[in-house]
Structure 1
Amino acid sequence: MTKWTGLALMALLMLTLAACNADSNDAKKGDEGAAPKEGETQTLKVASNLPAMIDMMEAVKPQLEKEGITLEIVNVSDNIQPNEALKNKEVDANFFQHQVFMQQYNDNNEGNLTMVTLIYHIIYGGYSKKYDSIEKLPDGATIAIPNDPANIGRSLAMFAENGMIKLKDGVGTNALQSDITDNPKNYKFQEVDLLMLARAYDDVDMVTLYPAYASPLGLTPNEDAIVKEALNEKFAISLVAREDNKDSEAIQKLAAALTSDEARKFIEENHPDTMIPAF
């Protein structure tokens, strides 16, 4: 064998190995996101931050296991991390928010999050340690509400529905304090971080709370809220994914599990005073 023949054979061998490696990589890429084969399981990461939602996902885990889905619940400590993690593909979905809050995040962060399915309604209301009805709230009463736009609007719309204030025509749940056109009892609305609202219960005349934050205070909406909102689908707690994975088999199986008869039974048996199925 001449020197040039040997070099030619070595070059051919290297090209062959490179082609095999490329084929292998292409095969791996083709497997990404594929549904699990029979006998295999697929891990689905879902972020949440409240016990009731986490408990509900725990309840449907066995159902998903039978369908080849291992549900990994990522417990976070605030209401910012679930959307950041989902946008950055650190998790596959989240379960903690309503449509208005999600859209607010998308608008402010160039997000591509999307609703998958409605899960349940929660009863949003106002609670007072000092007064047992909104009629007894004094002139100039201080009312604590969440400080994010989605929940400011929700709170003000609830007050308007119950005749406490009037808002500009058409603003609805997009209202800000600047949209109040009539405030006959001169209520002062104090905007507070959502996670800190429960601490204001002792200090203000009324505070608006979600059931998850009212419950540790021993309060339930049906028994203790002196003002409540009408149910609205855009405020239903929902399963949220990204545009690129919302239709995946795993996400759809999770959606089916969270809207199944077993899920309805879980809500009715464990949270009858605070959660109403939205499916």
Structure 2
Amino acid sequence: MNRKIMMLLVVVFMLVAAGCGNNEKQADNSANAPKADEEVTLKIATLIPPMTEILDLVKPLLKEDGVNLEIVVLSDNVQPNNALVNKEVDANFFQHEPYMKQYNEANQSEMVTVQPIYNAVYGAYSKTYKNMEDMPEGATIAIANDPSNIGRSLVMFEKNGLIKLKEGVGIQATQADITENVKKFKFKEVDLLMLARTLDDVDLVAMTPAYAKPLNLTPKKDALITEGDDSDFVINLVARKDNADSEPIQKLAKRMASPEVKKFLEDNYGDIAIPAF
């Protein structure tokens, strides 16, 4: 009888010891696991208003979602993609899809569009002339020098009857694709961020409203021509393929496509930036 009691006590002791060991392991695992409400930092690269202003608007809203948004303002239109591809930032907000695709092809990268935000109305502006009919033969026209915006500019000029392009080239067009240029316009390719500064030196400048607005120019009021409402050049929130579906990026996308952002664009940039969501 005593032997049975002793054996029973040994078994009970072993079960209790095993249970304690499991509890200790669970406690260790719980200590090492991230807390459900732990704040996540998300870095996003951008360039100029209204992009920077939209991000400033959503930053406190994202804080409510447990995401600390760190806004990295860069100085040219290549750095934000380099930073994203090199994982120095988690997303960027400055570009349209044709530009992103051309960067991907040139660099074997895998950036993807997460959320369209707004359509920036593209136009051509002149400090000297009030309409295209006054533009002299041989006039110099400044356009952005990256491939997607070269094509965008030339297509805009073709749609407005100023030149003709090879059939079917579309936004892949280059100056070599111009088949008819009756007024012998000269196209000067300039770095995107330098376009606004050329306004004093050329006859016409093709640029997005983000670069025209600091000069107090808007497409509706001041552009001699615009590209129309069927543009494929919406400004997007962009991430990498490997993080685009992550919870923080999706929270950012939701906040950037929120009623607050739509109202901000309509109230402050209604003449140059049309919400795309």
TM range (shorter): 0.7 to 0.9
The aligned counterpart of 2:131 is: 133
**Distance in structure 1 (CA, Å) of the matches to 2:180 and 2:57:** 47
The aligned counterpart of 2:56 is: 58
The aligned counterpart of 2:237 is: 239
Confirm whether residue 273 of structure 1 aligns to residue 276 of structure 2: no
Give 1:275 deviation, angstroms. Answer: 0.6
Give 1:97 deviation, angstroms. Answer: 0.3
Which one of 216, 228, 231 corresponds to residue 230 of structure 1?
228
**Distance in structure 1 (CA, Å) of the matches to 2:258 and 2:214:** 28
Give 1:189 deviation, angstroms. Answer: 0.7
The aligned counterpart of 1:256 is: 254
Give 1:233 deviation, angstroms. Answer: 5.3
* 1:106-137, Cα deviation, whole Å (9 max, x unpaired): 11111111111110000111001111111111
The aligned counterpart of 2:188 is: 190
Give 1:215 deviation, angstroms. Answer: 1.6
The aligned counterpart of 1:217 is: 215
The aligned counterpart of 1:12 is: none
Question: Is the radius of gyration larger for structure 1 or structure 2?
Answer: 2
The aligned counterpart of 2:74 is: 76
Equivalent pairs, count: 249
User: SS where residue 162 of structure 2 aligns?
Assistant: coil
The aligned counterpart of 1:117 is: 115
**Distance in structure 2 (CA, Å) of the matches to 1:73 and 1:47:** 6
**Distance in structure 1 (CA, Å) of the matches to 2:167 and 2:55:** 40
Cα distance change of structure 1 residues 142 and 52 upon mapping to structure 2, 3 Å threshold: same
Listed as ranges, the matches of 1:70-109 within 5 Å are 70-109=68-107
Name the amino acid aligned to 2:121: I
Give 1:234 deviation, angstroms. Answer: 3.0
* 1:85-120, Cα deviation, whole Å (9 max, x unpaired): 100111000000000111111111111111111100
**Distance in structure 2 (CA, Å) of the matches to 1:37 and 1:67:** 14
**Distance in structure 1 (CA, Å) of the matches to 2:44 and 2:122:** 24
Listed as ranges, the matches of 1:6-25 within 5 Å are none
**Distance in structure 1 (CA, Å) of the matches to 2:223 and 2:270:** 15
User: SS where residue 131 of structure 1 aligns?
Assistant: coil
Query: Runs (4+) of structure 1 moved beyond 6 Å?
Result: none
**Distance in structure 2 (CA, Å) of the matches to 1:133 and 1:150:** 26
CA RMSD of aligned residues (A): 1.8
Give 1:188 deviation, angstroms. Answer: 0.8
User: SS where residue 242 of structure 2 aligns?
Assistant: coil
**Distance in structure 1 (CA, Å) of the matches to 2:114 and 2:170:** 24
The aligned counterpart of 2:4 is: none
User: SS where residue 255 of structure 1 aligns?
Assistant: helix
**Distance in structure 2 (CA, Å) of the matches to 1:213 and 1:239:** 19
Give 1:214 deviation, angstroms. Answer: 1.0
Give 1:37 deviation, angstroms. Answer: 4.1
Which one of 152, 155, 168 corresponds to residue 153 of structure 2?
155
Name the amino acid aligned to 2:52: I
Name the amino acid aligned to 2:263: K
> Which runs of 5 or more residues in structure 2 are unaligned?
1-24
User: SS where residue 232 of structure 2 aligns?
Assistant: helix
> Which runs of 5 or more residues in structure 1 are unaligned?
1-22
The aligned counterpart of 2:206 is: 208
Name the amino acid aligned to 2:100: M
The aligned counterpart of 1:6 is: none
Which one of 174, 191, 194 corresponds to residue 176 of structure 1?
174
**Distance in structure 2 (CA, Å) of the matches to 1:113 and 1:205:** 36
Q: TM-score, normalised by structure 2?
A: 0.86
User: SS where residue 202 of structure 1 aligns?
Assistant: coil
Identity %: 57
Q: Which moved more, 1:231-240 or 1:243-252?
A: 231-240
